[in-house]
Amino acid sequence: MLVFTLVFSIFQTAKADKKSRDFLAKQNELYGQEQAPNFDSFYFGCFYLDEGDFNLEILQEGIRIISDKEIEIPTSVFENEEKNMQKAYISDYVLENLAIKNYGVNIDMKTELEDLVWNINNVIDKKDLPINKLTPEQITAFDSILVKNRRKDGIVTMDNDINIAHSIIEKQGYELINVLSDEYCLTIVNNDVLLKLKQLEEKSKIG
């Protein structure tokens, strides 16, 4: 009886595994895989999940560059916090202020395309950039059948949408980048600024 039960259990598990594989194959056929980001991210040694110390001066310099020297990090943001909590408090402070002052766009994977475009256009306005504003139609014009299926059924297309926005902005001589966030805080920089940020990012990894 024990042998029968064991065999039956293995059979049921294999049957469930096949159903799961068939379901995933069908989903992939309909929706494909969400794209990987093709834009740069900068953390300046202050990604809150990373272990180890960070150089506040490097982070501060990066944020000054991105915000045209408008955003500073006061010591009151972190001075009373334990060392391992400082990154989280500083990251939250910077992300909030980038959004409030329209130097950055805080989004998550559930952000609507219209909101993404509207907020990126706010950054263009704030920085007075000589590039064309985006429209949702510019993004959806590049939709494949798989992406159309994803939109229709409410499945995430955010990385796809950001990649398209980045491509449009890049053709005008600028870069859409992510700052500090494990979701996304997007901003726009020119190529000279991009180089400075890359140098700071490398410097932050040296310690």
Does some domain include residue 161?
A: yes
The enclosing H or E element of 59 equals helix 56-66
Does some domain include residue 4?
A: no
Does some domain include residue 26?
A: no
At 141 the pLDDT is 97
Does some domain include residue 21?
A: no
Q: Do the Cβ atoms of 105 and 99 come closer than 8 Å?
A: yes
Per-residue confidence band for 49, with pLDDT thresholds at 50, 70 and 90: low
Match 């140098």 to its residue by tokens.
Answer: 199
Does some domain include residue 136?
A: yes
At 162 the pLDDT is 94
At 144 the pLDDT is 92
Q: How many domains does the chain have?
A: 1
Encode pLDDT of 114-151 as tens digits: 999 999 999 999 999 999 999 999 999 999 999 999 99
Does some domain include residue 85?
A: yes
Q: What is the pTM of this model?
A: 0.82
Winning range, highest mean pLDDT, from 1-15, 52-66, 178-192: 178-192
Per the structure, the complete domain to which residue 49 belongs is given by 41-206
